[in-house]
Amino acid sequence: MSTPPDPVAAARERAIAERAKRLREDGVDQYSLLDGEHERFDRDPWNPHPAPRDPVSEAVDVVILGAGISGMSCAVELSRLGVESYRIIDRAGDVGGTWYWNRYPGCRCDIESYIYMPYLEETGYIPTERYASAPEIFEHCQQVAEQFDLYPHALFATHVTGATWLDDQSRWEVATDRGDVIRARFVVAAGGLLFKAKLPAIEGIDDFEGAMFHTARWDYAVTGGGPGEPMTSLAGMRVGVVGTGATAVQVVPELAESGAEVYVFQRTPAAVGVRDNRPTDPEWAASLKPGWQEHRTRNFTESVTGVQPDEDLVQDGWTDLMWVNTARPGRNESEQAELDRIDFEAMEAIRQRVDDIVEDPELAERLKPWWSKHCKRITFNDEYLPTFNRHNVHLVDTDGAGVDLITANGPVVGEVEYALAVLVFASGFEVTTDYTRRLGFDPIGRDGVAMSERWSDGAHTLHGVLTAEFPNFTMVSIAQAAPGVNFAHFVGQVSRHIADMIAACLESGIVEIEPTVEAEDEWLHRLWAEAAAASSRRYAQACTPSYFNNEGQMTQLAARGVTWTGNTLPYADHLADWRAAGFPGTVLRRETEDTP
C-alpha cells in the first residue's frame, strides 16, 4: 500500500515549480521607467496646468524632498523641535504623496487606518472606517499640513533636477525645474517607499491604439466618474487590467460594477484574505485613552513580526496570518516541520476561501496562490474573488508567463488576441531598482562624486539614513533600514530620527555629519549576519519572484539592499541609542568663525 502524499511537502514542490515558471533572466529589467517615450504615463492628472510662479532663491536649514507621509512627518517633527527654517519640495500639486497620486477607484489603505494615518491624536481625528478610503486619507494629510502649518513651506508641482554639495560652504545647493536655487545645510530625501510607478516592458506596448494608463495616474476622462464616484463611461466597453497585486484586487471589483467587460490578465494569483472592513464604532473611539495610537501601532508591528505580544489589539487578517514568523529557520527538524505546517495551513485557508467563493471549480483552481505567506505581500479584500462569478469578468491566466505581446488591438496570450478599448496597468512600483533612478536626480557629493557612481554596486549607508561622501544628506528609504509591514510606522520612526539628529546638529553647531566608510561596512555586515541567522534559505528558495526578492535575482545590488532583521521597534531603539551616544561612526565638523 502506498503512503498518501504529504500535503505540506506537495505544496512546497508546487511552489518551487511555480517559482521556476516565473524566474526570468531580465529580473527587474522586465519593467520600464515612466520616462522618455513613457513620460506621458507619469503626467499629473490632478494638476495638469500648474500655476506659474517666480523662482525661489533662498538659504534654509533643511530642504525636504517629498511631501508624502515621510516628508510631512519630518517637517512636523522639525518644527516641534524648534526648527522652522525648512522648505518642502514635491512634484505633486499638494501634500499626501501616495494618497495624492493614487486615486484609482476602490483605493483604500490595506493597513488598519487607526495605525496607518499619522497624527490622529494630535489632530483629534478618528477615521470613519477601519480601512479608510484614499480620499479620506488624502484629506487627513491636508488637515495635518494645515494644522502644523506646512503649506507656507511647500513648493508644489516642482521637480528637483539636482543637488550638489558645496564643500566650502558645508551646504547643499538644490536646483529645480522651476528655476529655484535653494541652499540648505541638510537634505532629507523623503520620497517615500513606493513612488516610482513601473510599466512592464511588453513588446508592442506603444502600438496599442486604445486608452492606456497606470493605476497611480487613473484617467477619469476615459472611465468617467471620479474618486469615490461610479465610473460612467465604461458600460459595454472591453477593459483589461494587467496585474493581480494589492492594487488590482481593489480596482477589479469597481471596474466590474461599471458594466464593462473586464479582462484580468494574471501572471501570479494574489493571496486574498478576509478584509472585514466596517465603520468605526463611536463607543470604541470614545473609550480611547491618550497615547492609544502609538500603543496600538507598536502592538501591530509586534503582532505581524512573530514577537507575539500578550494581546493582539488589531485582530485583523494581517495579525492573524503573520502571528507566527514561518520564514525563520527551525531550530531542529520537528520545529521546522511545525513552521512548515503553520505556513501551509495559513495558505491552505486562503486557497479554501477561493473554493468557497468562486463557483466555477476550474476557475477557482486558477485563482489559487501557490506560494508561502512571507514570499509576497498578502492582500485582504472581500469583493475581488466574488467578482469572478460575474458574467462580465474574465480571467486571462497566463500561467506564470505574463503578458508578453500587445498589438494595436490589445494583449495577446497564447494564440488569442484580446481586443480592448482600455488597458489599465496595475503593475506596481519600483522598489529595489537603482536609488538615483528612483530619486529622479543624481546627487553630487564631496569632490564631485555622483551618487550613482558611489552606489554603482548598491546602497552604502549607515542605518539606511546617512551615506559617506554625501555629508548632511539623509534618506527615508527601504535599503538597509527596517520597513516592515506598516510603512507608515516605519517612515514615522525614521522621520523622527532624522529630525532629532538634524535639530541636535543645528543646536550644537555641527555643520557636517558624515558616516565613515568603516561604519557603513560594519552596518552592512551586521545586517547580513543577522539576516543569515534569522531567515531561512530553504524558505526563500521556494518563493515566487516579486519585489520582495528583487524578482528572484540575488544580485550584488539586491544583497546590499538587505533590510534589518526583526521589526521597526528595535531598529528605532537602536537609532535612539546611537543618537544618545553622540553619533558614533561619523565624522562631525563643528562651526568655526570661518563657517559661512
Provide the minimum distance between the beta carbon of 387 and ligand NDP in the complex, in angstroms, as a whole number: 16
Shortest Å distance, C-beta 470 to ligand NDP: 28
* Residue 193 near residue 484 (C-beta atoms within 8 A): no
Cα separation, 12 vs 570, in Å, equals 32
In the complex, the smallest distance separating the C-beta of residue 324 from ligand NDP, rounded to whole angstroms, is 21
Interaction of residue 244 with ligand NDP, rule CB under 6 A: yes
Binding test (CB under 6 A) with ligand NDP, winner from 300, 429, 435, 539: 429
| Residues in contact with ligand NDP, shown as a per-residue x/- string from 249 to 268 under the rule CB under 6 A | ----------------x-xx
- Alpha carbons 246 and 381: distance in angstroms, whole number: 9
Closest approach of Cβ 264 to ligand NDP, in Å? 10
202 near ligand NDP, rule: CB under 6 A: yes
The three-point CA angle 92-152-73 to 5° equals 65
Q: Is 110 in the site for ligand NDP (CB under 6 A)?
A: yes
Nearest approach, Cβ of residue 50 and ligand NDP (Å): 26
Provide the minimum distance between the beta carbon of 405 and ligand NDP in the complex, in angstroms, as a whole number: 10
Asked if 248 interacts with ligand NDP (CB under 6 A), we say yes
Give the burial class of 140: count Cβ atoms within 10 A of its Cβ; 0-12 exposed, 13-18 middle, 19 or more buried.
Answer: buried
> Looking at beta carbons only, is 79 or 427 nearer to ligand NDP?
427
Which C-beta is closer to ligand NDP: that of 246 or that of 444? 246
- What 3-state class would DSSP assign to 63? strand
Grid coordinates belonging to 395: 480571467
Contact flags string 224-243 toward ligand NDP, x per CB under 6 A: ------------------xx
Alpha carbons 448 and 173: distance in angstroms, whole number: 13
Report whether 466 contacts 583 (CB < 8 A).
no
Cα gap 26→17, rounded to integer Å: 19
Q: Is 128 exposed, middle or buried (0-12, 13-18, 19+ CB in 10 A)?
A: exposed
Minimum gap (Å) between residue 401 Cβ and ligand NDP: 8
Q: Which of 158, 387, 546, 567 binds ligand NDP (CB under 6 A)?
A: 546
Residue 64 or 132 having the CB closest to ligand NDP: 132
User: Considering the rule CB under 6 A, would residue 106 count as an interface residue with ligand NDP?
Assistant: no
**Would you give the binding string for ligand NDP spanning residues 407-426, x where CB under 6 A is met?**
-------------------x
Query: Is the CB of residue 437 less than 8 Å from the CB of residue 225?
Result: no
Residue that has been written with the C-alpha cell 550613482 in this structure: 452
Residue type (1 letter), 458:
G
CB of 249 to ligand NDP, least distance (A): 8
Shortest distance, position 61 Cβ to ligand NDP, whole Å: 32
User: Nearest to residue 417, comparing CAs of 120, 208, 589?
Assistant: 208
Q: Is 403 in the site for ligand NDP (CB under 6 A)?
A: yes
Question: For ligand NDP, which residue of 14, 341, 377, 394 counts as binding (CB under 6 A)?
Answer: 377
Q: How far apart, in whole angstroms, are the C-alpha atoms of residue 28 and residue 546?
A: 9
Entry field: residues in the chain: 596
Binding mask 111-140 for ligand NDP (x = CB under 6 A): x-----------------------------
Figure out which of the listed residues 73, 133, 247, 319 binds ligand NDP, where binding follows CB under 6 A.
247
Minimum gap (Å) between residue 48 Cβ and ligand NDP: 23
Work out the end-to-end distance of the chain between its first and last CA atoms, rounded to an integer number of angstroms. 86
471 binds ligand NDP (CB under 6 A): no
Minimum CB–partner distance for residue 171 and ligand NDP (Å): 35
CA distance 572 to 432: 22
String marking each residue 518-537 x if it binds ligand NDP according to CB under 6 A: --------------------
User: Under the criterion CB under 6 A, does residue 370 sit at the interface with ligand NDP?
Assistant: no
Tell me the C-alpha distance between 582 and 454, whole Å.
26
Residues 6+ apart with CB under 8 A from 357: 364, 385, 386, 389
Binding marks (x or -) toward ligand NDP, 32..51, rule CB under 6 A?
Answer: --------------------
Asked whether 502 and 186 are in contact (CB, 8 A), the reply is yes
The residues near 299 (Cβ < 8 Å, ≥ 6 apart) are 309, 311, 312, 313, 314
Contact 12, 336 (CB under 8 A): no
Residues that bind ligand NDP (CB under 6 A): 22, 108-111, 194, 200, 202, 242-248, 265, 267-268, 377, 402-403, 426-429, 546-547
